[in-house]
Structure formats: C-alpha cells, structure tokens
Chains A and B, each alone.
With several copies, the nearest count.
Chain A
Amino acid sequence: MREILYAEALVEGLRELLEADERVHLMGQYFLGLTSHRELMADVRDSFPGRVYYPPIAELGYVGAAIGAAIAGLRPIVDIATASFIFQAFPQIVNEAANIHYMTGGQTKVPMIFHFNHGIRGGGAAQHSHSPQAMLWNTPGLEIMAPSSPYDVKGLLKTAAESDNPTAFVDHTRLFDVIGPVPEDDYMIPFGQADIKRGGKDITLLASSFMVQLALSAAETLAEQGIDAEVVDPRTLVPLDEDTILESVAKTHYLVIVDECHRRCGVGAEFAALVVEKAFSDLRAPIVRVSTEDVPVPFSQTLERYIEPTEDKVVQAVLRVLS
C-alpha cells in the first residue's frame, strides 16, 4: 500500500468529501496550522471556489454560524485553528451544538465537524497550547475523534462527515509529518472501534492523538529491555470502545495512560476511572498517568519539555508500575 503523510491524508479526505457532497463546505482554513504543509490547503481553496469560507476573527460567531448552517442542511467542516481559540466558541459548542438534538426531543440534527490543533506545538506558550478534549468529553452530545495516524485521520474523517452529530476533530500539528499506509480506495473507520497499534502482553499503554506516537516509541525502547507493551488507541473518545481497553488490561494486568491534557480531570483521569471501575480485579498495580503537569504551558523550551509527556517519562512510568 502507498505510504503518505498524515497532512496529505487529512487533505485528501477533505478533498474527497468536498467532491462527493455539495453540502460539504469548509469554514476557516488553518487545518494545517502554520506548518510547512499549509500550501496543501491553499490548493483545496483553489479547487473548490465558493466552498471555502474565510471567517472574521470571531470564533464564537463563525463556529456558531457553522452550527446554524448545519441545522439548515449544510455539512460544514469548521476549523478553529489553534485549540486555545475554541474557548471563544464554547457557548456555541458546549451550550448549543451539544444540546440541540437532545433538547428538541430529537427533532433537529447538527451535522458538523469542528477541527482544531491541540496541544504543545513548541513555543506556543500558555495561550496557544491547550488540549481541550477533556472538557469536550465532559460535554455529552459531542462525538469526538482523535486520530493518530494517516490511515486513521482519513478514515475517521469520512465517518465523521456522515454523522448527523456535532463532531470534534481533535488534531495535532506534530502528527502532520507522520508517514503511513493509506489505501487508494475509499474507506471509512467506524467510530467506537479502538485500534491496537502494537500488540503486547506485559503492560497496556493507553493513549490518543499524538500521544499514541509517543507511546509507540516508548514501546520500542521498552522492547529492547524485554518489556512487551501493548499500545491501545481508542481513536474516538465518543463513542468509546471500552471493551478493547478492558480486554487489553485483562490480558496485561498493568496500565499506563499517556495523555497530553493537564492531569487533573484530563482524558487520562477518565481512562483511569473507567478501568478501576470496570476492571479492578484485573489490575495488579496502580494505574499511572503520564500527562502534562498542572501548570500553564511555559514558553521556554527547557520548561516546556519538563512539563510535557515524553517518551522517557512513559518508559519510567512503565518501569515503576512493573517493579
């Protein structure tokens, strides 16, 4: 199978969606952030005149407009660029989009996707480095995809576009250069199906988004030390494939969670709470979370490095858990 970059797979997915359905429109254009790949988006814009909207700097207004447009029958894919700007749109995402289907008794659907690049990108400092997926997961009514590979990003995006629900597309600029196999033929990845990114028997590493890549390299290092780690990637947080996670823990009996959210009430907290509630008797040791330290993200590279999850921290955590 051909191998392409994550950024290419993402843009290919967007293109195919735009081609397949006239109702698909892009609102906002910084899908690829300020990375060197951003030219790919310029091409999309040129290929689909009138289908790519350039909003004002008004995240509340234009994300809300995407929700309204979805209600009226459009299938918008709206880009919030840096995840930190999603807070401006929280009243519309958390208090409107997530609630509308439910509070209308199922009358109204909100088929839209909102995309953002989360997490530490290097030098983003406190106001450009958020990982808001835990907050979104605490908001029932949103589907959440958090891909970690070229194959997943395209396949999940296709599924998200068919969904009649508002879907958060949790993305990460540090994934854009990841290379991997992507079929030429069309395919979709169902939501709610975790993927075992690496089979293993000694310990489970549970991670999503860019943290999967970190977990995979940690697993390689651990392999050299004779530890066979299984890397489980839920791929979507909502719906969540609990079974695959619980089965992996039932097999390995040990769990380390790798999560880029701040620790308190992060995605990792939910993973831990889930497992201790539903697989307590399988566990042979504490569940350890490798997360971003509970401090605002500092600018300086030495500080940033100290507070973010790293391969080394994952390795150390595993050794601690298994000792």
Chain B
Amino acid sequence: MLPTLSTKVLLGLLEKALAIRRFEEMLVKLAGKIDVGHFHVYVGQEITGVAALDLLETGDLCFTTHRNHGHLLARGADPALMLAEILGKSTGYCGGRGGTLHLASAQLGFPATSAAVGGCTPLATGAAFGMDRLGSDRVSVCLFGDGALEEGSYHESINIAALEKLPLIFLCENNSLEALGQKAGEYPSSTLAVVRLTDLVAPFGVPAITIDGCDGKAVRDGMTEAIDRARSGEGPTFIEARTVRWPGNRPLWPALVTGETNLSMAWDETVIPEEFREWHTTQDGVLRFVREMIDEGHATPETVIALDELVQDQMRTAENFALESPYPEPETALDLVFAKSGSVP
C-alpha cells in the first residue's frame, strides 16, 4: 500500500525511487562499455530505502554497506557526484578514494560506509551510543543485508544497543527470499539456521517486525514507530524488510537481464516479458508504487512518464559529468591519511 501522504510528497518519493532505478540501470549499462569494476546495485529494494530514509532529519546518521547506492540517493545524494565517485573521479563524494563500496557523504548523514559484511553494525551502534551520551535526540540507522546477521558483530552490537537502550534502528534488508532454504520454509537466507530473522532479535527484548520491503506504507509505518521509539529514549528497534532479489542481481556481476525498466509495465501487463513476469508483477517495488499511485489517483501514466524523463535527463547529465571529470592527481594519494589536529605536526 501507499503511505498516507499528499500527492506531492508521494511524487517526491516516486521520483527518488525512479532515480535509484535509473541510476543503477545507467551504471550497469556503463559497465558494459567501460571497466567499472565490481559493484552492487539496489534494484528491487528502492521502496525500502526511499520510504524508510525519507523520515530522517538532518543529523540522523546512516551506516550502510556495499549495497549503498540507493540509500544515499534516498537521502538526496547527487547522482553526478555518486557516479563520479564510482568511477574514481576527483569530483566524487569521497574524491575518488572510496568508490562504490564506500560511498559516503557526511553532510547527507552517511559518515562512513563499510564494505565488510557486519562492519556497519558496531559503527551504527556506537553512533547511537554517542548521541545518547551527548544528549542529542538524533537517531542512528544501521542498514544491512540478511547476510550480516551471520557475523558475530551483529550479536555483540544488538546486545549493547539493548542494554543501553540506544536510539538505533536496525534496518535489515532481507533480499534472500528466493534462497533455497526459504523456499522450503526453512532458512530465510542461505546460511542462517533461524526460521524467522526476527526470532534472533526477540531474546534481547528489542521490538522486531517483518515487513514487505516493497510496501511503501508498511515501510513508512514501521520506520515511523522505530524512530519515535528511538527519539523518545525507548531504545532500538529491528525491522526486517523483505524483498525478492532482482534477477539481474543473481549473477556475480549485475546484469540488465530484465532490460531497462519499461514503466508502462505498471499499467499494461501485456508488455511484461514472460521470463520475469512474476518478479515484475509482484516483486518490483517501483512498478508497484507506480501502479498504486495511478490506482489511487495520485498520478497518471503521463505524469509518471514525464517524471521518469526528468529523472533520466538527470542521469544523462550525471553520466556526462562523471565521465568528463578528471581523475585525482596521483600525488594526492598521500594526503588525508590523518585529520590535521593537535597531535600531527
């Protein structure tokens, strides 16, 4: 369902969801032309990121993973600076030092992005610890995949968060629903022995819910409650947002196996290609959002197409900007190991 919001706000969310989709498509296409290296895309999870992070305020901090593109865009990142970073250009968010694995924008509330699975959990917990001790009412959001639950760092982090009632939201994006175990009604990810991820959380006394990550309203409601709880000092919340992995993410290197998204699939089922019919009809959050917008009178196919063109334009601009940007000067590689401060001459 759609979140209960004005048309204008909903269109804003849709624009961000489209921006993510088109950004990732642009990137996958680009990777077919030039060597972009290994990267991970957020296709299929857009509604989770957009609906959840829209609720954050300035100063709230997010700690994300290797699959971070959508998260930054959801908080308003400039696709040009993002792509520039992914291409290792000096104009990128991190001056080309981080790349796709470590996209960070302190200003947007992404102070440090870890590509070590389970790396972000202690960091996010610590940020919440800091906010708590500093008496701030900001919250910390830990964004991670189901795989991170297999790392011991999760276990240690949730214990600390629970004991200290930290202002923290664990937003676990479980994109492994098509995994073998899950299909057999057993394990939700390939290598975790628990039947429901939230069962792992319950013992710590941390409220935990499972939601459909493509359901804008469910995501927004769950996140609203979690943020309220965090801001009012009641401690952490765990949200499992379930999505089904985009077929283009199943190979080791992302591939546009479903082609570039044809938005008319949202209102015209006949254009959906047979091969990925199920995914597009039930699991493609962006199409579903569009469909719901149209059904509830917030948009028409025409307004959606117009919005999409705007977004695609933006992506073309971003691509040109990034491609034309220079690489950093080699010698600057030696800079920025340390923040300049009292102790370093």
B6-14, B272-280, B335-343 - interface stretch: B335-343
Find B153's partner among A45, A60, A140, A192 (CB 8 Å cutoff).
A60
Query: Does B330 sit at the interface, judged by CB under 8 A?
Result: yes
- B181, CB-defined interface residue at 8 Å: yes
- The residue on B at minimum CB distance from A192 is B345
In the bound complex, do residue B97 and residue A299 qualify as a contact, i.e. CB atoms below 8 Å apart? Answer: yes
Chain B binder among A12-20, A61-69, A207-215, A250-258: A61-69
Interface residues of B in 43-66 (CB under 8 A from A): 61, 63
Residues facing A in B158-212 (CB within 8 A) are 159-160, 163-164, 181-183, 185, 190-192
Whether a CB of chain B sits under 8 angstroms from the CB of A165 is yes
Interface pick from A194-202, A223-231, A289-297: A289-297
Given contacts A58-B151, A299-B102, contact A293 B333 (CB under 8 A): yes
Task: Give how many A-B residue pairs fall within 8 Å (CB-CB).
Answer: 302
Contacts of B327 in A (CB 8 A): 300-302
Q: Are A300 and B192 within 8 A (Cβ)?
A: no
Question: CB-CB contacts of A23-38 with B at 8 A, as 1s and 0s?
Answer: 1010001000010001
Partner among B92, B112, B155, B328 whose Cβ is within 8 Å of the Cβ of A71: B112
A181 close to B (CB within 8 Å): no
With contact pairs A56-B150, A65-B160, A70-B130 given, residues A95 and B119 touching in the complex (Cβ less than 8 Å): yes
Of the candidates B89, B95, B125, the one whose C-beta lies within 8 Å of that of A65 is B125
Q: Within 8 Å of chain A (Cβ to Cβ): is B77?
A: no
Q: In the complex the two chains form, is B160's CB within 8 Å of A72's CB?
A: no
What residues of chain A lie closer than 8 Å to B329, measured between beta carbons? 302
Residues in A with CB closer than 8 Å to B106 are 104, 107-108
Q: Inside 8 A of B83's CB, which chain A residues have their CB?
A: none
Check B88 for interface membership: any CB of A closer than 8 A. Answer: yes
B99 touches A123 (CB 8 A): yes
B283 at the interface (CB under 8 A from A): no
Q: Would you call B333 and A298 a contact (CB within 8 A)?
A: yes
Which residues of chain B come closer than 8 Å to A304, judged between CB atoms?
333
Would you list which residues of chain B between 116 and 170 have a CB under 8 Å from chain A? 116-119, 121-131, 133-134, 136, 138, 140, 147-148, 150-153, 155-157, 159-160, 163-164
What is the bound-complex CA distance between A109 and B339, given in angstroms?
7
> Contact: B122 with A68, CB < 8 Å?
yes
Assess whether B163 is in contact with A56, with CB atoms less than 8 Å apart: yes
B332 at the interface (CB under 8 A from A): yes
> Residue among A25, A38, A61, A127 with the most chain B CB within 10 A?
A61
B111 contact set on A, CB distance < 8 A: 71-72, 100, 104, 107-108
Q: Which residues of A contact B122 (CB under 8 A)?
A: 60-65, 67-68, 92, 96
C-alpha spacing A307/B114, complex, angstroms = 22
Confirm or deny: B5 has a beta carbon within 8 angstroms of a beta carbon on chain A.
Answer: no
Q: A64 touching B101 by the CB < 8 A rule?
A: no
Most A Cβ at <10 Å: residue of B116, B117, B164, B342: B116
Which of B159, B160, B338 has the most chain A CB atoms closer than 10 A to its own CB? Answer: B338
B98 beta carbon closer than 8 Å to chain A: yes
Find B99's partner among A38, A125, A159 (CB 8 Å cutoff): A125
Q: CA separation between A16 and B24, bound complex, in Å?
A: 43
Interchain CB contact under 8 A, B130 and A61: no
In this complex, the member of B63, B130, B138, B181 whose beta carbon has the largest number of chain A beta carbons within 10 angstroms is B130
Interface readout for A144-173 with B: 1 if CB under 8 Å, 0 if not? 000000000000000110111101000000
Complexed CA–CA distance, A29 and B90 (Å): 36
> CB < 8 Å: which of A55, A108, A307 contacts B333?
A307
B residues near A163, Cβ cutoff 8 Å: 339, 341-344
Complex: A159 Cα to B153 Cα, angstroms: 31
Interface residues of B in 89-115 (CB under 8 A from A): 89-90, 92-99, 101-102, 104-107, 111-112, 114-115
Smallest Cβ distance from A62 to chain B, in angstroms? 6
Are B344 and A65 within 8 A (Cβ)? no
- For A159, what are the chain B residues with a Cβ–Cβ distance below 8 Å? 342-343
A302 contacts across to B, CB distance below 8 A:
88, 96, 327-330, 333
CA distance A116 to B339 in the complex (A): 23
Instruction: Give Cα A126 to B152, complex, Å.
Output: 22
The one of B130, B138, B191, B338 in contact with A74, judged by C-beta atoms closer than 8 angstroms, is B130
Whether A103 contacts B157 by the Cβ 8 Å rule is: no
For the complex of A and B, the 3 pairs showing the least CB-CB separation, nearest first, are A68-B126, A64-B122, A61-B156
10 A-B residue pairings within 8 Å (CB atoms)? A64-B153, A68-B128, A96-B119, A103-B94, A106-B339, A126-B97, A126-B98, A162-B341, A165-B341, A299-B101
9 additional A-B pairs beyond A56-B191, A64-B156, beta carbons within 8 Å, are A56-B160, A64-B153, A72-B138, A74-B134, A91-B153, A92-B122, A92-B153, A102-B336, A165-B343
